[in-house]
Amino acid sequence: MLDRSTIIGFVSGFTLILLAIVLQGNLMIFASMSSFLIVAGGVLAATLVNYSYENIKYSFKVISKMMGAKSVDLRTDMELMRMFAKKVRTDGILTLDDEIGSIENDFLQNAIQLAVDGYNKESLGNILDDEIQSQKRQLSISVKVLDSMSEYAPAFGMIGTLIGMILMLQNIDDPKSLGAGLAVALITTLYGTILSNMILGPLAGKLEYLSKLDLNRKEMFRVGVLSMVEEENPRIMENKMLIYLEPKKRAEYKKYHEKLAYGTDRVDRLYQKWPTYQTEEWEKLNENLELETG
């Protein structure tokens, strides 16, 4: 369940490359297990020397996890946090104990668990901040790992081609075999270029992009949970959290809630459905809640 633009990018990119081949000749010429091994294997080997096995594994785990993550509509997160804050305001922080199991986001789940466990604002703030800082550090290593891999790929493509060319030039009999030999030698360069520019480089960029969004979301959750623990007015919490939204979405969210004004029954309705709504787009969430009234 990859990030949509990543899937579209990979599918369209490789379709184009395959089409370019099929329209001109035989696809099988380009399928070379040994070429793939020297490029992909060489990149992995150099990266193992450069970093450690754990770094590489973590990089790929984190990128697959991030791209598989649902909903990043921060306005939906805002709605849920607002609802939680209202509950906490009336019934105390312990009410949330029953809800923890249904929260999908690990960071938020953990944060609310700790809040329910009675941590005070300061130590809770430190723990959450520490988690965010540590994730930031680890993500920046992961981006560097992918960047290094993307730089090693063309080099190993060139190594494969050089080996092929040296062998081919050693025993020239007829110019025809020379052409075929060179063709085979060039396949590793092709693999290295594709690996670097179609896969590893763009993935490094994507990881950097997604991790910024994710860290922003966690910062928002942190601010919200700390506000709850202090039992601040939900409106204050809302204003503190809204800073993390981009202006356009923030404006829409504010406008919508200004129109609603009072309407505590909306919170009740949301409270019954939130576990299924938490990954919804915000517009859909509103639509559903309004339908229920009618």
Interacting positions 28-47 with its own copies (CB under 8 A): 29-30, 34, 37-38, 41-42, 44-47
Candidates 69, 186, 215, 289; binder of its own copies (CB under 8 A) is 186
For residues 99 and 90, the answer to whether their CB atoms sit within 8 Å is: no
* Cα distance between residue 15 and residue 206, in whole Å: 20
Candidates 59, 105, 142, 196; binder of its own copies (CB under 8 A) is 196
Q: Considering only residues 239-268, where is the footprint of its own copies by CB under 8 A? A: 246-247
Candidates 78, 85, 190, 229; binder of its own copies (CB under 8 A) is 190
Nearer to its own copies, 19 or 263 (CB): 19
Span of 50-58, 112-120, 220-228, 286-294 interacting with its own copies by CB under 8 A? 50-58
* Cα distance between residue 80 and residue 293, in whole Å: 19
Q: Which residue type is seen at 266? A: R
Q: Considering only residues 162-181, where is the footprint of its own copies by CB under 8 A? A: 162-167, 169-172, 175-176, 178-180
Candidates 198, 215, 267, 289; binder of its own copies (CB under 8 A) is 198
For residues 139 and 207, the answer to whether their CB atoms sit within 8 Å is: yes
Residue 48 within binding range of its own copies, rule CB under 8 A: yes
Residue 194 within binding range of its own copies, rule CB under 8 A: yes
**What single-letter DSSP state applies at residue 25?**
S
Residue 188 CB neighbour total at 10 angstroms: 26
What length does the chain have?
A: 294
Q: Considering only residues 131-160, where is the footprint of its own copies by CB under 8 A? A: 131, 134, 138, 148, 152, 155-156, 158-160
Phi, psi of 171 (to 5 degrees): -125, 85
Q: Which residue type is seen at 211? A: S
Residues contacting its own copies: total by CB under 8 A: 82
Distances 257 to 82, 201, 210, 228 between C-alpha atoms, Å: 11, 42, 28, 20
Span of 49-57, 90-98, 115-123, 284-292 interacting with its own copies by CB under 8 A? 49-57
Q: What angle do CA 123, 138, 121 make, to 5 degrees?
A: 10
For residues 103 and 122, the answer to whether their CB atoms sit within 8 Å is: no
Candidates 69, 100, 182, 289; binder of its own copies (CB under 8 A) is 182
For residues 59 and 202, the answer to whether their CB atoms sit within 8 Å is: no
Residue 100 within binding range of its own copies, rule CB under 8 A: no
Nearer to its own copies, 171 or 293 (CB): 171
